[in-house]
Structure 1
Amino acid sequence: MLYYFALLSVLLALILSIYNWRVNKNTFYISGILVILSAHGLTHFFTDPSQSDFSLALFYGNLTPFWLLPGPLLYFYFRSVFFPGRPKWTTIDLLHFIPFAVQLINIFPYLISPFDYKLQVAHAIHLDLNNLQKVRIYSFCSFSASLLSRPIIMLAYLVWCSLLMLRQKSSLSKSKHNWLVFFLGGLLIPTIAYLYIALKLFNAPIPRISIDNYSTYFISGIAYIALPIILITLFPEVLFGIKPLNLKHAEEGSKVIKEDNDYYLELTKKIDQYCHKEKPYLQPSFEIANLAKAMQVPQKQISNACKIAYNKKFTEIRNHMRVEHAKQLLQNGLTNNNTIEAIGAYSGFKSRSTFYEAFKAETGMTPSQYLEKLA
């Protein structure tokens, strides 16, 4: 079951990245967390004596530097949510990767060791889980200390992100606040469980660490994978802009619809202000993805705003703005020195045919006929 949960988590991470790579790039951080936790869970899974030595040799030890990255990725995600206008990366952000670099140096001799040796290590672990402590694969840090550092660092970032959320709570919508709270909680539970295991391994003498601890070790791996998947499934609106309706009661459903409409009407005002000031529609390459990026919202929300406020598609609204601009140019007499086709190009149309088609759909006449009417 853990194996399939891990594959499902990786698949979900890929879907998030593909769906949002143009608009909501912040989800790359969540995708990275999911992939890393899935790989971590698979490592737990492959320590089961019923699994092959080969599978464990591929995962065990080789990926340990990445186990220290979910904390920094979580912080970068929270920072991007609260401070979307801030530069994505600065030199000081490299400090977050110091634990990763230290662990990479710590495990490097094992990384370059022959694969036959890694198979021997995997076989020893399958014979007795206590050999996790006995087999030394780190240069200057023990297995227990390395194991303990992961949940401690993760807890530090969880606290950091929680404080950041409390300070910026007033700037959050209810749905996004709930998402962040549950996402933090979903990561906190398995992190505490993992810390409990690490403390057991750190404090207890080797003879006292028995296979009885394996159930907790295994369950923590399941929790790390399953909880983020469940949370993302419960809060799709944060990632995809999908607003789920509560259909239990008509009154509650009406309230949700009203809140949605208010949000989209407010978003429409921002779009109008942006288009009036920047005139992005004059660029032939202007698409809904560009507008979503400028508004820092998912593309789906732009589409919803167009339908709710104007009952039109984005392309229809874009053509309307371009035609209005072309009409203004025609009225100002720019055809004295420019062709009508040039007027269409100045208005953002890629070709003469699209200009004429859009102009006639808006005005009921061609640009030439409109120009004759002005005369």
Structure 2
Amino acid sequence: MISADIASFICFSGFLLGVVILLILILANSKRPYYNFLLSLCIFSFTYLMFVSGLIWSGLIIEVPHFFRTASPVIYLIAPAAFLYVRAILEEEEKFKLIDIIHFLPALLHFLEMAPFFFQSAEIKIGILQSIFIDPDYSLAMYEGLLPTNVHAFLKTGIGLVYFLSQFYIIGKYKRKYTPLDSYEAKVVNWLMWFTLILTVSYTLLFIGLLINDENNTVQHFLTVLIGIALLIILGFLFFQPQILYGLSDFSESENLAEDIFSKVANKPSLSLSINQIKDYQHNIEEYLESKKPYLNCDFRMQNMVEDTGIPRHHLSAVINTTFKQNFSSLINEYRINYIEKNINSKAWTNLSIEGIGIEAGFKSRSTFLEVFKKQTGMTPSEFLNKASQL
């Protein structure tokens, strides 16, 4: 049996480190991209689980009984948040899709199922906790909601494993499609692989532990500590990988490199780019985009521009951020909208639908096209078409 002191120490350590990581994710990155929100949600869920587990292991839960079972619905958030985080990075998603609500329905339904128990008095919860401390099996036989606790334990781990296997699939698909990866992409993909692997191993061991008939709950206690250690590994990895915490942003942005260029413009020595190099890069980028129109390909990525222009990725990224005052995706979408504005009255486009116009300009989805168009022009495509037809 693992010492309660060791278990509570690991749980509270995970909680404290998790809080630090969350503060960095929320406060340090002013851009707060969508995928950072998803990573924050995943880390928060783990962190809250460790907090409540620490209360239980230390016995402090008796002092704050209303925290009892509150982590149960939150656990359902870990796997979908992790999956959507990986997908958002690899598919360059910039906002939450309405259909993705379905991923969080298990957490919502379980919360509603548990709601009557959450509103029970502290005395009732203390009585249940005291019974569990005497007989741990009493916990697994309880029906605070519609389903017994052990059923939810299997559901959480089973659903989690499905999500994590899906993560491996989309990571593998990305690697096959965009091989060879440049050094920065390789680092990001490597992080996503380790992130997914740690979650998969943890949930697999937890699932096996649930299948073992262990009267003393030794295996379950060990696995609880293992989950805490897994969280510490993930958090430690994040803590020493600032480019993840401060924002990957489509594999393209580097705050340090951007500052590098600004410093160079200010005539500070010991930096890699001269003002003339920056101007040359800017000219090459503009000429390339205007003459080749690579943005009309919906699969066009920064790596393609790196290969076609010969500009190193880190230089390309920094010049776009500082000279064009936006990231790679925003720059490409700007060119796509400009292309539409120039060709809106073209005879070849006469019979195209709104979606068809977006596709012609290189947009992958209707929703992204509508959002970007409205943001840049202040009008919907339909409004713009009506205005253009009157000219």
TM-score band, normalised by shorter chain: 0.5 to 0.7
Which runs of no fewer than 5 residues in structure 2 stay unpaired?
1-8, 247-253, 258-271, 273-305, 333-391
CA deviation string 1:303-327 (max 9, x = no partner):
xxxxxxxxxxxxxxxxxxxxxxxxx
Pick the aligned partner of 2:166 from 141, 156, 160: 160
1:80 matched to which residue of 2? 88
Residues 59 and 242 of structure 1, relative CA distance in 2, 3 Å threshold: farther
Matched position secondary structure for 1:97: helix
Pick the aligned partner of 1:209 from 205, 208, 215: 215
Residues 36 and 21 of structure 1, relative CA distance in 2, 3 Å threshold: farther
Pick the aligned partner of 1:53 from 62, 77, 86: 62
What one-letter code is carried by the residue in structure 1 that aligns with 2:211? L
Residues 195 and 295 of structure 1, relative CA distance in 2, 3 Å threshold: farther
Q: So what's the TM-score if we normalise by structure 1?
A: 0.61
Deviation at 1:292, TM superposition (A): 8.2
Q: Output the CA distance in 1 between the equivalents of 2:186 and 2:79.
A: 24
Which runs of no fewer than 5 residues in structure 1 stay unpaired?
245-256, 276-287, 297-375
Map 1:180-259 to 2 at 5 A.
180-200=192-212, 204=213, 209-240=215-246, 241=254
Q: Output the CA distance in 2 between the equivalents of 1:102 and 1:216.
A: 29
Pick the aligned partner of 2:144 from 112, 137, 147: 137
Identity of aligned residues (%): 15
CA deviation string 1:21-65 (max 9, x = no partner):
42534212111111111111233323326444134x233212321
CA deviation string 1:88-120 (max 9, x = no partner):
223321211221122123212212222221122
Matched position secondary structure for 2:312: helix
1:149 matched to which residue of 2? 155
1:317 matched to which residue of 2? none
Matched position secondary structure for 2:63: helix
Q: Output the CA distance in 2 between the equivalents of 1:182 and 1:17.
A: 23
Does the 8 A contact of 2:52 with 2:71 survive in 1?
A: no
Deviation at 1:134, TM superposition (A): 3.2
1:336 matched to which residue of 2? none
1:100 matched to which residue of 2? 107
Q: So what's the TM-score if we normalise by structure 2?
A: 0.59
Does the 8 A contact of 1:182 with 1:231 survive in 2?
A: no
Deviation at 1:149, TM superposition (A): 0.8
Residues 233 and 62 of structure 1, relative CA distance in 2, 3 Å threshold: closer
Does the 8 A contact of 1:40 with 1:221 survive in 2?
A: no
The answer to which of 142-151 and 94-103 deviates more is: 94-103
2:314 matched to which residue of 1? 264
**CA RMSD of superposed structures (Å):** 3.1
What one-letter code is carried by the residue in structure 1 that aligns with 2:118? L
Residues 295 and 185 of structure 1, relative CA distance in 2, 3 Å threshold: farther
Matched position secondary structure for 1:69: helix
Q: Output the CA distance in 1 between the equivalents of 2:329 and 2:82.
A: 21
Does the 8 A contact of 1:22 with 1:293 survive in 2?
A: no
Deviation at 1:127, TM superposition (A): 2.5
What one-letter code is carried by the residue in structure 1 that aligns with 2:123? D
Does the 8 A contact of 2:320 with 2:328 survive in 1?
A: no
Does the 8 A contact of 1:46 with 1:52 survive in 2?
A: yes
Structure of greater Rg: 1
What one-letter code is carried by the residue in structure 2 that aligns with 1:89? F
Q: Output the CA distance in 2 between the equivalents of 1:294 and 1:239.
A: 21
2:71 matched to which residue of 1? 63
Q: Output the CA distance in 2 between the equivalents of 1:178 and 1:198.
A: 30
What one-letter code is carried by the residue in structure 1 that aligns with 2:29? N
Deviation at 1:271, TM superposition (A): 5.1
The answer to which of 125-134 and 25-34 deviates more is: 125-134
2:125 matched to which residue of 1? 118
Answer yes or no: is 1:24 the counterpart of 2:33: yes
Q: Output the CA distance in 2 between the equivalents of 1:93 and 1:17.
A: 22
What one-letter code is carried by the residue in structure 2 that aligns with 1:196? I
Does the 8 A contact of 2:14 with 2:232 survive in 1?
A: yes
Q: Output the CA distance in 2 between the equivalents of 1:210 and 1:146.
A: 20
Does the 8 A contact of 2:88 with 2:94 survive in 1?
A: no
Residues 192 and 168 of structure 1, relative CA distance in 2, 3 Å threshold: same
1:33 matched to which residue of 2? 42
The answer to which of 96-105 and 41-50 deviates more is: 41-50
What one-letter code is carried by the residue in structure 1 that aligns with 2:106? P
Does the 8 A contact of 2:141 with 2:148 survive in 1?
A: no
Q: Output the CA distance in 1 between the equivalents of 2:191 and 2:331.
A: 21
CA deviation string 1:232-252 (max 9, x = no partner):
1343323334789xxxxxxxx
Matched position secondary structure for 1:168: helix
Matched position secondary structure for 1:30: helix
Matched position secondary structure for 1:6: helix
Matched position secondary structure for 1:48: helix
Deviation at 1:265, TM superposition (A): 1.9
Does the 8 A contact of 1:179 with 1:235 survive in 2?
A: no
Map 1:317-332 to 2 at 5 A.
none
